[in-house]
Amino acid sequence: MTILSISTIRVTEPCRVNPRAKMAEAAVTAFAEKWDLKLPGFDAYNTVFAHLFPTTRLTNLVAVGIINCLLFYIDDEAVRARLHQTQTERPDETLTQVFRLGILPTAPTNLQLAFYELRQMIMEVLPEGELKWLNRLANSFDAYFSVTNRPDELLGPVERVDLDEYREWRGIDSGMWTCIDSVDFTLNLYLPPAILNDPLLSSMQRNVVEIVALMNDIFSYHREATLENYHYNLIGILMAKHHYPLETAFNEAVNLVNYLIQEFYCAETRLPDWRGHNDGVRQYIMGLKYQIATAWHWQLSFTKRYHSANSPFAELRN
């Protein structure tokens, strides 16, 4: 087997971890156990949120940790069902209705109860008048639930997948838009919609979503292709679509991620002057950079989720 190096991915942001990480991880663990959401591998992903949001206070950190727990649970439960050919509860709009409105159905499931408790926790610390932010996060949940774990249905056979469509789907399926929409909450900084929706800042948000989602495709390739027989992965698609060997597909995937990273930093140099909001925008962009840093440092050094003795990537070999 050819041994490849993921160090060709050019991430320059330093690693940061929230000093409240251990307390938050314990709280999220208790939440997962309470609602029976603690799957095998839980400990391997219950540390990521403290890297994604290294400066937020404890209450907000626990809330985004619970969001992380819920999305990983939904994703990993679907993978378990696929591997064992069993049925599982598909997430649907009822979860976001519970989250958006705070109203439970007559006989709620554990997932619905978990989303209800998450809403209550957020409402306790959300500034008055910021319900529009909660609705934006609910919209991200809706988008995630509508596409996750449905690539064959939405994209077609892996060898005929349109790469632009895949990138759009993967950005949503990764759950990264919920991370982007959590940055405001973790900074307790709610920029005006005119700034958040500015075309240049929007392009930077999209860059981050794709950088993290596609970098995860690279890190998780061996786990997905070899252990889970799942080929809706950037490397797997390039191999199937173009009949590339692994090394060629890997190099093309890395080149795409590096291009997106470069595009993000070039866009930062062209930001306009938002009078009265420039400090807030700088904090927000730093929040976006934490996402990029985490995609590299956490997957490489802080979790064994993607490590294997047989990985084709030297840095991920146990």
- pLDDT values of the chain reduced to their tens digit, one per residue, 318 residues: 679 999 999 999 999 999 999 999 999 999 999 999 999 889 999 999 999 999 999 999 999 999 999 999 998 887 665 655 666 666 778 899 999 999 999 999 999 999 999 999 999 999 988 999 999 999 999 999 988 888 889 999 999 999 999 999 999 999 999 999 999 999 999 999 999 999 999 999 999 999 999 999 999 999 999 888 899 999 999 999 999 999 999 999 999 999 999 999 999 999 999 989 999 999 999 999 999 999 999 999 999 999 999 999 999 997
Token pair of 243 as six digits: 């009949």
Contacts of residue 124, Cβ cutoff 8 Å, sequence gap at least 6: 59
| 311 φ/ψ angles, rounded to the nearest 5 degrees | -60, 140
Alpha carbon distance 113, 79 (integer Å): 22
Q: Show the beta-strand stretches assigned E in 159-232.
A: none
Q: What b/e string do you get for 65-75 counting C-beta neighbours within 10 Å, with b at 16 or more?
A: bbbbbbbbbbb
